Amino acid sequence: MRNVLILYCNTTFPMRATIHDHLYAFREYGKSLRCYYVNLDLRGLPRYLEAIAFDAILFHTTFLSKRWYPEVFREYQRKVEPLKRSGALKIALPQDEFIHTDILGEFIDAFEIDQVFSVAPESEWPKIYPSVNRERVRFETLLTGYLSDATLARIEALAAKHTSRAIDVGYRAWRAAAWLGRHGILKARIDDVFKEAAPRKGLVVDVSTDPADTFLGDDWYAFLLRCKYTIGVEGGASILDRDGALKAKTEAYTQLHPEAGFEEIEANCFPGRDGSLALFAISPRHLEACATRTCQILIEGDYNGILEADRHYIALKPDFSNLDEVLELVSSDHLRENVTRQAYQDIVQSGRYTYRHYVEAIFGASPPPKHRTPQQRVREAFWFAWARLEDAAIPGAYRFYRAWLRPLRQRLRR
């Protein structure tokens, strides 16, 4: 068994299913891994970790996402400062590699990270990580998320209940901000375009970028199962914001000029910067649409080489010049069955895009476990059982603190 320390951050309980699956996939599918989870949002490094010889230390996406707030991230780095001295294999799983990338590169250098599993295309690594020695640090590409066995089982159970698809076109997304660039705001544009054009063809449409309309957990899968088609675009951004300054400048400008369009914002906040990055990637929602057999209408793109236009999805031009043709295909509905069948076979049934594959990609080629004496193995087995109990118990203790102890302390102070 290899001992793996997994450092993450979370204060939302119950944890969102997508985060839970991404985080605990190592425990679920890493049969040769003994995973010690530490939630740095709720505690520092426990002392008992000093008694364990770790083979690998993994800095999870949720930990690295703290860099959206640089001062907070520096405080979290101080929490894990002792790990700099560890000789274990150090692994980083960053996402959102379009923003605060300078501090991310500094972290990789300071903690002597050995492997970075990036969601950005290889062509963009020199732009995102200019200071990182890529001869010393091994970079690999992973997806932002995968399909879990449990998710697929729940989808199949829901599918048995949702046998009719009353919605022609469905969609939910975040109305992306201008500081993501033209690529980012396509999420909002495709919503606006279909909301206006599809009903004129007599289609039943349920599309929204309003946060109040968000579906969470199984409600999202149930929604997809009620839709014949869903629309979308590759995730990512077309602007590289190394220190978050472009985001801050854009937000300040739009607060003063709430009616400003993208061109005005671009001219005043980041002239000539759009297109400096090509961070485009498939997202879990694309895989989930395949799993629910919902036909996708997507802005044509690469989709990590996984989804192919006219085979796995109906392609929509980025300038929407073929919108009428696409809506005619939706109205006739004659391609949907073939497209969804092919997508299900190639994406879901193939098993290539599951969390089992994700764990294998990260740890499949890792060095063998360190030699341990029988006494070490007994000691580590004890602390592993303790760590499992702690990781299970701390969320409940935190909920109790927030619901009862913190309000009580606040009343006593008054």
Token pair listed for 209? 């970028």
| pLDDT score recorded for residue 215 | 95
For the stretch 339-393, pLDDT in tens is 999 999 999 999 999 999 999 999 998 878 888 999 999 999 999 999 999 998 8
From residue 300, give the alpha-carbon distance in Å to each of 16, 157, 174, 198, 277.
Answer: 29, 31, 20, 19, 18
Cβ neighbours, 10 Å, residue 300: 17
Cα(307)–Cα(233) distance, integer angstroms: 12
What is the residue extent of each domain of the chain? Answer: 2-145+354-410, 149-349
**DSSP codes, 234-285:** -EEES--BSSSHHHHHHHHHHHH-TT--HHHHHHHH-TTTTTS--EEE--HH
Cα(121)–Cα(142) distance, integer angstroms: 9
CB-based contact 55:88 (threshold 8 Å): yes
| pLDDT score recorded for residue 304 | 97
Query: Closest by alpha carbon to 239, among 276, 186, 188?
Result: 276
- Do 2-145+354-410 and 149-349 share a fold? yes
* pLDDT by residue, tens only, the chain of 414 residues: 899 999 999 999 888 889 999 999 999 999 999 999 999 999 999 999 999 999 999 999 999 999 999 999 999 999 999 999 999 999 999 999 999 999 999 999 999 999 999 999 999 999 999 999 999 999 999 999 999 999 999 999 999 999 899 999 999 999 999 999 999 999 999 999 999 999 999 999 999 999 999 998 899 999 999 999 999 999 999 999 999 999 999 999 999 999 999 999 999 999 999 999 999 999 999 999 999 999 999 999 999 999 999 999 999 999 999 999 999 999 999 999 999 999 999 999 999 999 999 999 999 988 788 889 999 999 999 999 999 999 988 888 777 777 776 786 677 776
| pLDDT score recorded for residue 151 | 95
Cα(155)–Cα(133) distance, integer angstroms: 43
Cα(214)–Cα(11) distance, integer angstroms: 20
Q: Which CATH number fits domain 149-349: 1.10.20, 1.10.10, 1.10.3300, 3.40.50?
A: 3.40.50
Query: Closest by alpha carbon to 295, among 262, 330, 323?
Result: 330
For the chain, the helix, strand and coil percentages under 3-state DSSP, each to the nearest 5: 50, 15, 35
Evaluate the CA torsion angle 178, 182, 184, 186 in order and state its sign: positive
Task: Tell me the fold of 2-145+354-410.
Answer: Rossmann fold (3.40.50)
Cα(312)–Cα(324) distance, integer angstroms: 20
* Rg for the chain, CA atoms, rounded: 23
| pLDDT score recorded for residue 186 | 96
| pLDDT score recorded for residue 408 | 66
Q: What is the pTM of this model?
A: 0.94
According to DSSP, the β-strands at 2-8 and 56-59 are parallel
